[in-house]
Amino acid sequence: MDQHQKDALASRTLWARLRRQLIRLTGAQDVDDHLHAAFMKLEAYRAREQVRNPEAFLVRAAANSALDEHRRARRQTAAAPLDAGMADTLADDAPLQDEVYAARQRLDRVREGIGRLPPRTREIFLMHRLDGLKYHEIAARLGISQSAVEKHIAKAALALAEWAKGW
């Protein structure tokens, strides 16, 4: 077994272990999105600080992500509909021109980074992030394993995090 195969096996094993821990902690069955967000946070944090226990960091960040999503869902169902008369008194939330310009520059930079990804990795990453498809849905559509989808998403996340250093 060559080093690439050993790394791939270790990656799959780590992902499976993290999934089990997160399911046990949160009770959520669909934890892949939270783990992906945790990997992104880990890479961003590593750019600034040393991480002594990356696995613990990932579990905590993914659990926090799941908890935040649960809280958002509870707030949305508890929020009362806006009274039609109150709508006229709300402040204009439109962004300022300089904010729009800065956002467009960031968007162009993100497009450039995504454009640098290998075609298959880019396709899978965009299906997940833009189309909102879950890993198992992407795997079914493309006729590949969920593990392959996970690898492509992780590869894209790491490549984009590395490429975005210094922004």
Please answer whether residues 151 and 8 qualify as being in contact, where contact means their C-beta atoms are separated by less than 8 angstroms: yes
What percentage of the chain reaches a pLDDT higher than 90? 24
Per residue in 72-87, pLDDT tens? Answer: 877 877 665 655 556 5
More confident residue, 106 or 118: 118
| Whether residue 140 has pLDDT greater than 90 | yes
pLDDT higher than threshold 80 for residue 131: yes
- Over range 45-62, report the average pLDDT: 83
Instruction: Give this prediction's pTM.
Output: 0.44
DSSP code of 83? P
Q: How many CA atoms lie within 13 A of 94 on its CB side?
A: 3
In the predicted model, is pLDDT for residue 141 greater than 80? Answer: yes
- For residues 58 and 133, the model is more confident at 133
Average pLDDT over residues 17-46: 79
More confident residue, 71 or 119: 119
CB 55 within 8 Å of CB 15: no
Alpha helices in the chain (DSSP H): 3-26, 32-46, 54-78, 97-115, 119-129, 135-142, 146-164
Taking the C-alpha atoms of residue 57 and residue 107, their distance in angstroms, rounded to an integer, is: 28
- Look at 1 and 146; give whichever has higher pLDDT: 146
Domains plus CATH for the chain? 3-76 (no CATH), 117-165 (1.10.10)
- Would you call 133 helix, strand, or coil by DSSP? coil
Q: What is the dihedral of CA 21, 23, 27, 33, to 10 degrees?
A: 120
Instruction: Please check whether residue 127 is in contact with residue 144, taking contact to mean a CB–CB distance below 8 angstroms.
Output: no
Q: What is the pLDDT of residue 146?
A: 93
Mean residue pLDDT across the chain:
80
Res. 58 pLDDT band, cuts 50 70 90 = confident
